[in-house]
A and B are shown apart, each in its own frame.
Chain A
Amino acid sequence: MFLQRFLALLSTRNKEFLRDRSSVGWNIFMPVLIVAGFALVFTGDFADQYKVGIAHPVQSSNQAISPLETFLQTKYIDFINVTDIASAKIKVQRHQLDMLIDTTNQQYWINDESPNGYLVEKVMLASLDSVLKKQTVSGKEIRYVDWVIPGILSMNIMFSALFGVGYVIVRYRKNGMLKRLKATPVTALEYLSAQVVSRLILIMVITVFIFYGTNLFIGYAMFGSHLSLFLVFTLGAFSMISLGLVVAARITSEETAGGLLNLISWPMMFLSGVWFSLEGTNPMMQQLAEIFPLTHLTAAARSIMIDGAGLLDISYHLIILAAQSLVFLVIGALLFRWE
């Protein structure tokens, strides 16, 4: 009977969502519009700020300031400490770093195809007698839209999961639908499973549609496995849906649910690295971002798409997303009330 009841609830919920044209339209067209907007606005440019990676940072001393230290104080250049030269070189290839300087080995890298790299090099050479040995790399530019698309898809998953589950369950509770189901043999597990799976299927179908649909026109950089990306988005969506269940567990007012969902989703949207890199930001903000599932979902998806990472490379994010899903699911199930 579990499967029969589960499938009955699942198929009805799917039909209800798919026939609600405004809801489907909103879920599909909003992210498409955002992606299209960013593709138009940021064509070709990553940002108007230069980024230089520094391997083995210069230790300040009481002696006279070295020419390199003078360069490191240049305005409008974001100097980012890097520990892994190999991955930093890939970022230079992808135009995510305009220059990489290895102070120990007295060498630097720029991308010959990067206008920003050319300008930063000129600034650097003007600042010091060049004791560094020039190296060059080449690679396809990573546009801002390539960088931002994993975040936009993740953000869309977040909104669809939180509001699609959280808000809908609260609405059902308020209008008496949950009470009606409580009077049937349906258990809370059957009902919640159907809601979770229904939303998961819908989110993934919509995400795939948006990804491949917009990719036809924009042509994203995709250096990793499509299957890995699909798995990451599925796990991320599951985590967000579970968080939605916690919110919807007992609330009876749609207004309260809406407020709480906004309280959760808006900080995540701005502080999870969707729009800008968290590298070089305030350490406290970086620590805060670590607690958000959206941070790990975005970082994992971006690593696959831009860095070509495999699942093992992003296992840290996957473990956190899985652990958060489990915790949210248990809390949501324990707190759940039909009325």
Chain B
Amino acid sequence: MTEALLEVRDLVKHYPRIKAVNGVSFSLKPGTCFGLLGPNGAGKTTTVEILEGIHEPTLGEVLYKGEPVGQRFRNEAGIMFQSTALQDFISVRETLEMFARLYPRNADLDDLIQRCHLGSYLEQDNRLLSGGQRQRLLLAIALVNDPTIIFLDEPTTGLDPQSRRNFWDLIESIKTQGKTILLTTHYMDEAYVLCDEIAIMDHGKIIAHGTPKELLAAHFNDVILQLPESDISHAVHLPFTTHKRKELIEITTNDVNRTIEELMAHDISLAHLQIRSRNLDDLFLELTGKELRN
């Protein structure tokens, strides 16, 4: 069995009126991407910031290469926070060079600039960067010390679809270098594409943990059939539970053949029928509920 690069044991973080993290344990295997998912206020960021050494845990321990987190970890970890201000009046190149000089080991800056697509605005003031450019610079800063382990806290929040896809490609390229990644995200498609293993947190605890496929298989053995609402007459009473989503009627079933036969028996057109598998979005909502969180 591969020894864990980072091991989290029974982590607890209590604030005066809140138990932000309540007994969290997991480990990161070298060269994998671990996704930490959860609704707002689930305790993801607190957990990650304890791992990064930003906060002290109330109880529990974090081991990096078998040792408590310390100077070695700070030298070898790359961190991209959810929101970080960059110094005004300083260019992208100067920012990268400053961070590079803070570490004993550095990645090749020219290569980093090329991989993160920073070349065309290298001399630009940090204040003038767009959202996507800024996130790529923050990722480059996280990689400037050629890290062994990388923490990415909601790296694509607020980005447009092109920028998100571009960011995914960057993370994929980091994975191919054998780096270990801990990713927190709200986007289930992102987690599905990028993560080898995920843990879903809610109310300070991990409520599900495994590979995306394992988790989906463990929680769902059905599929969803979707039909346009206009194709189903109101008078028809279907013998299964249906949900309305926008202009579609969704039927959840674990016997597709029988459901289709029933639909045909009710003389419903199947011309626009779509069948989709359950995804992480469904799992997330199933586990954490559909109520709006603050």
Contacts and interface: CB of A to CB of B under 8 A. Distances in A.
B89 A20 contact: yes
A8 B101 CA distance: 6
Nearest to B55: A339
Interface string B75-105: 1010101011111111000100111011110
Contact of A180 (B74, B77, B81, B101): B81
Interface string A7-34: 1110111011001100000000000000
A16 B88 contact: yes
A128 interface: no
Interface stretch (A108-116, A183-191, A245-253, A291-299): A183-191
Contact of A183 (B54, B85, B87, B98): B54
A225 to B, nearest CB: 37
B52 interface: yes
Contacts of A312: none
- By secondary structure, the A interface counts as helix
B85 A184 contact: no
Interface residues of B, number: 26
A5 interface: yes
A4 interface: yes
A175 B84 CA distance: 7
A141 to B, nearest CB: 45
A177 B74 contact: no
B71 interface: yes
Contacts of A186: 102
Contacts, number: 69
Interface in B87-128: 87-90, 94, 97-99, 101-104
A259 B87 CA distance: 24
B102 A5 contact: yes
Contacts of A1: 104
Q: How large is the interface on A (under 10, 10 to 19, 20 to 34, 35 or more residues)?
A: 20 to 34
B89 A8 contact: no
Interface string A223-243: 000000000000000000000
Contacts of A15: 89-90, 94
Interface string B224-236: 0000000000000
Given A176-B83, A180-B84, A185-B71, A5 B101 contact: yes
Contacts of A20: 88-89
B90 A12 contact: yes
B131 interface: no
Given A183-B77, A183-B79, 10 more contacts: A1-B104, A8-B101, A12-B98, A15-B89, A176-B81, A177-B84, A179-B81, A180-B85, A185-B103, A338-B54
6 A-B pairs with the lowest CB-CB distances in the bound complex, closest first: A175-B85, A8-B101, A19-B89, A183-B79, A184-B102, A185-B74
17 contacts: A4-B101, A5-B101, A12-B90, A15-B89, A16-B89, A16-B90, A19-B90, A175-B85, A177-B84, A177-B85, A177-B86, A179-B54, A180-B79, A183-B74, A183-B79, A184-B99, A185-B74
